[in-house]
Structure 1
Amino acid sequence: MTKKFRNKYRIPSDRMPNWDYGSDAAYFITICTQDRKWFFGNINDQKMVLNASGQVAHDVWMQIPQQFPYVALGNFVVMPNHVHGILVIDKMGYSSSAVETRLIASLPPPSAPSVPSTTSPKSPGGITGNKNPMFHDNISRIIRWYKGRCTFEIKKNVAAFGWQSRFHDHVIRNDLSYQKIAQYIVDNPKNWKEDKFYS
């Protein structure tokens, strides 16, 4: 049975000690609706059928690279009561165009989940260094924006809508893990009744 925090559904944290969640990496994100209510539609014939709220959840996720240009999107799915997606932060390779997914090569191996070295030949944050606001952005800020934007739009028609207060994040540390997670996201609708978030 899922443990609860303050009588709400809680997803255990996979956070790595000493890891900077604003650093370049691929992140597997899961965000659940409040009390895991089915706000986004339902599964029909092993496929997710989005309602209007689910379409908002999808469309706002697609806008993340416009709001945070150093972020690229991996696989993503909206489920009846949660979303799964891969976000790739690439500040060191950031340019005015969207980040391409040349992502895994720079990730730390599983045995070294430490903060990336500050002695990189590239200056962090570009020519503005640490004063570049982009350098201080992290996964929490991105998800806070996403949840807030969805909530604003969805509540126009569904006053009861809400997200659970926390979200689940997992640093993807190698290519094999990336491929497994990407496939898990694709397969989520057909495996819905076996999903731990099914309720």
Structure 2
Amino acid sequence: MNKKGICLGMIIQKIIYNLCCLGRVIPAGTDRDLSLHHPENHYPGNHYPENHHPKIQYEVELNQYGKIVDERIQWLISQYQYVDIHNYVVMPNHLHLILEIDSQKVKAQNVRIKSLSSQMGAMKTTSSNKIHEAGFIDFAWHRSFHDHIIRDEKAYINIFNYELI
């Protein structure tokens, strides 16, 4: 921990998966589209698609499969006592997750800390099994994921806030 209170030694990961069919984006108010960070950058000349309005706020409505993924993210915390989830959002076709692996939580115990890849593999396997049991037989995760180590407080705040959009 440095003098400003930033714990630079902890590993915080941002995970992005590309997947399908976990819910839908629905209008909820004004100003922000959850599916795009800066919609004006994605629609040159502000030519928005027919079903998008730049002044309407959108939110994600998870379907039964999205709710399974949501539950499996919570399962990570209960399954691995050294895992903290700082923030996450399940989107219709991907998810964002800030996950911290804190070895200090199990320092006094004889616990083998699983790698981030092992933890994500466990979440993907268990959620796939439950989604298949729920009737979506063709559901499959993409093979890998994108991770990023958050190295300072400014990056953490930016990523944390981005996931609230």
Name the TM tier (shorter chain).
Answer: 0.7 to 0.9
Distance 1:70 1:184 in 2: 25
Which residues in structure 2 correspond to 1:33-44 (within 5 Å)?
Answer: 33=19, 37=20, 39-44=21-26
Residue correspondence of structure 1 range 33-182 to structure 2 within 5 A: 33=19, 37=20, 39-45=21-27, 46-91=58-103, 93-95=104-106, 126=108, 128=110, 132-134=111-113, 137-156=114-133, 157-182=135-160
AA aligned to 1:94 is K
CA gap 1:127/1:88 in 2 versus in 1, 3 angstroms: closer
Partner of 2:163: 185
Q: Map Cα deviations across residues 15-54 of structure 1 (whole Å, 9 max, x no partner).
A: xxxxxxxx84111111121xxx3x1011001000000000
Q: Deviations over 1:100-139 (max 9, x none)?
A: xxxxxxxxxxxxxxxxxxxxxxxxx5465xxx422xx111
The TM-score, its normalising length taken from structure 1, stands at: 0.60
Structure 1 runs not aligned, ≥5 long: 1-22, 96-124, 188-199
Aligned partners of 1:94, 1:51: CA distance in 2, in Å? 34
- SS of 2:105 mapped into structure 1: coil
Paired position in structure 1 for 2:39: none
| Aligned-partner residue type, residue 84 of structure 2 | A
SS at 1:57's partner residue?
Answer: helix
Q: What is the TM-score when the length of structure 2 is the normalising length?
A: 0.72
Distance 1:180 1:31, change over 3 A: same
**1-structure distance, mates of 2:10, 2:154:** 18
Task: Name the counterpart of 1:28.
Answer: 14
Any idea what SS the aligned residue of 1:133 has? coil
Let me know the Cα RMSD of the aligned residues: 1.5
Give the SS at the match of 1:162.
coil
Aligned residues: 126
- Structure 1 residue runs of 4+, over 6 Å off? none
What is the distance in 2 between the residues matched to 1:127 and 1:74? Answer: 23
Q: Which amino acid aligns with 2:143?
A: S
More deviation, 23-32/56-65 = 23-32
SS at structure 1 position matched to 2:14: strand
- In structure 2, give the amino acid aligned to 1:147: K
Structure 2 counterpart SS, 1:161: coil
Distance 1:160 1:171, change over 3 A: same
